[in-house]
């Protein structure tokens, strides 16, 4: 009996230590931005210093769930905010499983709906969870009590109103939600699949940034000299699949980033990429 009691006590102490370790790891009073390695697609997880959990896009399949499980405590099954930048399958498919697996408090996207089967399935799953999508426009802002800010730079209401939503040739990439994340002196620009015309338009609002999530997986149509001159990022992160059929990232985009002496990280080469900031400084960890 005495041995049993000692064994039980030891197990209890071990469990307490484990819980303390996990709690400390996920509550370090710093901002974490994780560019999940989901192949040819986008999924970005953000955990603020106040433990607000945000997911931007869900990638092309269930891989996003692995990313979330690595960066959220095992007891935390709630996402405070989910944003779908636009309804293309490589950004939205994984959100079906996310909404089924996690409690989502708020779901936001751009106003023009998708027409694919996966988008219709996502709408069904949202309805089952009694969630309705809200729309984001330029100027919409999220804050928390520790100084985290996320402001929507695109799409503008004028851009949405100018779209013929009955058209069979909707260019959903150009309506991607673009957000600027700020925490103290740290700034990151998250760009969906927007093209260079949009990026040039919002560059002045964005101003100088530390981290750029490169638009549209490094497509040749995503950036310009003007945009990079105005935003002057220190690090560019490209979310892209290995040997994808689109040829992303394009030699043009890589050359442009090299010309501006911007350090490049890629999920196809570097795996999952995590940026951590205390509001003054930041560090970057790559999986590979």
User: In whole angstroms, how far apart are CA 100 and each of 45, 122, 153, 235, 286?
Assistant: 17, 10, 29, 34, 29
The pLDDT, as a whole number, for residue 255 is 98
Question: Domains of the chain by range and CATH?
Answer: 29-286 (3.60.15.10)
Asked which of 19-33, 64-78, 114-128, 245-259 is least confident by mean pLDDT, the reply is 19-33
- When pLDDT is averaged across residues 28-56 and rounded to a whole number, the result is 97
- When pLDDT is averaged across residues 54-83 and rounded to a whole number, the result is 97
Give the mean pLDDT of the chain.
91
Q: pTM of this prediction?
A: 0.91
User: In whole angstroms, how far apart are CA 133 and each of 193, 222, 231, 279?
Assistant: 20, 27, 31, 31
Residue 11 has pLDDT above 60, yes or no: no
- At 169, the pLDDT band (50, 70, 90 cuts) reads low
Residue 18 has pLDDT above 70, yes or no: no
The pLDDT, as a whole number, for residue 167 is 61
Q: For a pLDDT cut of 90, what percent of the chain falls above it?
A: 82
* b/e per residue 67-97 (b: at least 16 CB within 10 A): bbeebbbeeeeebbbbbbbbbbbbbbbbbbb
- When pLDDT is averaged across residues 194-220 and rounded to a whole number, the result is 97
DSSP assigned state of 175: G
8 A C-beta contact, residue 253 and residue 223: yes
8 A C-beta contact, residue 110 and residue 193: no
Residue 249 has pLDDT above 70, yes or no: yes
The pLDDT, as a whole number, for residue 181 is 98
């Amino acid at each position: 009996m005495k041995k049993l009691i000692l064994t039980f006590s030891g197990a209890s102490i071990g469990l307490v230590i484990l819980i303390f370790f996990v709690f400390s790891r996920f509550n370090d009073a710093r901002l974490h931005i994780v560019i999940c390695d989901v192949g040819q697609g986008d999924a970005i997880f953000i955990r603020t210093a106040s433990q607000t959990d945000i997911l931007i896009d869900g990638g092309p399949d269930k891989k996003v769930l692995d990313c979330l499980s690595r960066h959220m405590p095992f007891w935390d099954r709630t996402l405070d905010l989910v944003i779908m930048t636009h309804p293309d399958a490589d950004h939205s498919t994984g959100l079906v499983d996310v909404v089924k697996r996690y409690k989502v408090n708020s779901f936001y996207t751009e106003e023009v709906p998708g027409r694919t089967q996966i988008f219709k399935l996502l709408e069904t799953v949202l309805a089952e969870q009694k969630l309705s999508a809200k729309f984001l426009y330029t100027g919409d802002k999220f804050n928390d009590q520790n100084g985290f800010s996320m402001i929507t730079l695109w799409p503008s209401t004028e851009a949405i109103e100018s779209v013929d939503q009955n058209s069979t040739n909707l260019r959903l990439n150009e309506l991607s939600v673009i957000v600027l994340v700020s925490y103290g002196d740290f700034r990151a620009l998250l760009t969906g699949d927007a093209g260079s015309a949009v990026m040039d338009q919002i560059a002045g609002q964005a101003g100088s940034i530390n981290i750029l999530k490169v638009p549209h997986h490094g497509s040749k149509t995503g950036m310009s000299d003007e945009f990079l001159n105005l935003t002057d990022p220190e690090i560019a992160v490209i979310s892209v699949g290995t040997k994808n059929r689109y040829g992303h990232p394009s030699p043009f985009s890589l050359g442009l980033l090299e010309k501006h002496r911007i350090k490049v990280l890629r999920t196809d080469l570097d795996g999952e990429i995590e940026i951590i900031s205390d509001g003054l400084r930041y560090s970057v960890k790559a999986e590979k």
